[in-house]
Every structure is written in C-alpha cells, then in structure tokens.
Amino acid sequence: MTPPDFLIPSPLHLLKDPVLEKSGIEFYLKRDDLIHAEISGNKWRKLKYNLIKAEELGFKKLLTFGGAYSNHIYATAAAGHYFGFDTLGIIRGNELDSRANLTLRFASEMGMEFIFTERNDYRSKEWFYEIFSGILYHSGRWK
C-alpha cells in the first residue's frame, strides 16, 4: 500500500553537535516529514491502517471530519487520490466553500467532496453517523 513516491522507511539523520560529540553521544532524528510531500509524518501513520482496512473491506469511499485548515483533510484528500478512494469531508463552518483557503482548494483538486456544516451541528456528530450509516451506505452511494 505504498506508492513509489513515498519514502518508506523515513530516513534517519545524524545531527552533529559539539556538546553531544564531546560526550560520545550520537543523536539521530527520524524524518517522517519526508515520507511524502502531501501525506507526511503522523498523518501517513494514522491513515495507513484505515486505508488498508478500507481496501480489505472493499470500500471505495472515505469520509472524514475536519476544520477548514485541517492537515487531516488535506492528507485524506491526497490519500484518496493516490490510493483510488473517493473522499468526502465534513467541514466545520457552513459559511465556507471549496475555494475558501489553500487547504480546501487542494482537497477539492484531489477530488474531495464537501459538506459544510454549522459549528453546533459539527460538534454533535451523531446525526452524521445516522445519515451516512443508513441512507448513503444502504443506497450503495457510499460503500
């Protein structure tokens, strides 16, 4: 489940510091930020297992929640694009649209669809689960 432009495992970089060297200490930094330009670090580590499970279960679409500037929305949209999943982002802030900022524009360009919701509704996600687990899943639109 790793496309060719991913750098897995992420590299270790030896940091040079006179104080550490004097004490005989080698200090390495694991550069997870270099895993991928759009799905790096902890975002890749969190998404990877969900992508594997979704593929195993035959799901074709991913649904996620986030704010308008969310790195998670950005990374999920990219992951969906690169791994062949449709994506839907439930975005906090019904005053927004897909051109509101660079994050949402990028996610839109990667194919993510959006539902913009009022902030109070976003906080109580129960009604989203009812809608998506019932209507969309059973209709076959979101499996």
Q: Which residue among the candidates 10, 40, 70, 133 is catalytic per the annotation?
A: 70
Q: What is the 3-state secondary structure (H, E, C) of the chain?
A: CCCCCCCCCCCEEEECCHHHHHCCCCEEEECHHHCCCCCCHHHHHHHHHHHHHHHHCCCCEEEEEECCCCHHHHHHHHHHHHHCCEEEEEEECCCCCCCCCHHHHHHHHCCCEEEEECHHHHHCCHHHHHHHHHHHHHHCCCC
Q: 139 catalytic, yes or no?
A: no
Q: Which amino acids are annotated catalytic? A: 70
